[in-house]
Amino acid sequence: MSDVITLKAVRSTPAPEGVAVRTLKTEHQAVCQVLNVLDKAVLKLEETGEAPLAIFEDVLEFLTVFVDACHHTKEEEVLFPLMGRAGVPSRGGPIGVMLAEHQEGRELIARYRASLAALKGGDPSTQAALIEAARAYSALLRQHIQKENNVLFAIADRLFDSETQQEIFESFEEIEVTKLGAGTHERLHGKIEQMVEATAGWPGAEAGPGSAGCSCACH
């Protein structure tokens, strides 16, 4: 399938949302909640000079395990290759852009992790680097989610019927077990609630679902 045909598919009447796409969009909502928590932690650090280390740690675990090891793996190992086989160009097209942004996110997370470790080790000079990496990651993921929700997933819904979406969903479930281990997904969802509660009332957009500060169009 050429780029032209792919774009036509997006512009024509939207296909019904399949279970695989719905699963990834629901995960995006969870990611957006955590990005709102992260934005609040950054503001807190900037305004008080004191880093809410526990929140930065919990956000880092979520971004590493839930977002990268699980969510991005579902896209990179299952959805994108199937879309490639269905004719969506995997280089230079929308999939190539998504893969490049996943990699950019990994590099920012590495900087976030290193800055946080140095800060915890008593080096306050790394505050600025942590703020910069966290802000860049949050901005990257928000626009990335918008593109996936509005462009790539619309293509997937046009390409895959409900039976195929069910098969994709089952592959996602296998990744949950192999990459995260049983119970980890639920534990991390519990962590989101704890983080939202812990940062309630902090300056910044409220972190809960549907919050006005979320610009990801993830709802």
DSSP conformation letters of the chain: --HHHHHHHHHSSPPPPPHHHHHHHHHHHHHHHHHHHHHHHHHHHHHHS---HHHHHHHHHIIIIIIIIIIIHIIIIIIHHHHHHTT--SSSSHHHHHHHHHHHHHHHHHHHHHHHHHHHTT-GGGHHHHHHHHHHHHHHHHHHHHHIIIIIHHHHHHH--HHHHHHHHHHHHHHIIIII-TTHHHHHHHHHHHHHHHTTTSSSS--STT-TT--S---
- The burial class, CB within 10 Å (0-12 / 13-18 / 19+), for 132 is middle
Q: Is 168 in the site for Fe ion (CB under 5 A)?
A: no
- Among 148, 157, 160, 214, indicate the residue that binds Fe ion (CB under 5 A): 148
Q: Is 218 in the site for Fe ion (CB under 5 A)?
A: no
Minimum CB separation of residue 75 from Fe ion in Å reads 6
Q: Which residue is nearest to Fe ion (CB)?
A: 148
Minimum CB separation of residue 123 from Fe ion in Å reads 33
Q: Is 58 in the site for Fe ion (CB under 5 A)?
A: no
Q: Is 80 in the site for Fe ion (CB under 5 A)?
A: no
Q: Is 157 in the site for Fe ion (CB under 5 A)?
A: no
Q: Is 39 in the site for Fe ion (CB under 5 A)?
A: no
Our CB check for Fe ion shows the closer of 148 and 206 to be: 148
Minimum CB separation of residue 27 from Fe ion in Å reads 7
Pick from 66, 64, 86: nearest CA to 74: 66
Minimum CB separation of residue 74 from Fe ion in Å reads 8
Name the one range near Fe ion by CB under 5 A: 144-152, 156-164, 182-190, 200-208: 144-152
Minimum CB separation of residue 140 from Fe ion in Å reads 12
Our CB check for Fe ion shows the closer of 12 and 150 to be: 150
Name the one range near Fe ion by CB under 5 A: 116-124, 127-135, 141-149, 190-198: 141-149
Site residues (vs Fe ion, CB under 5 A): 148
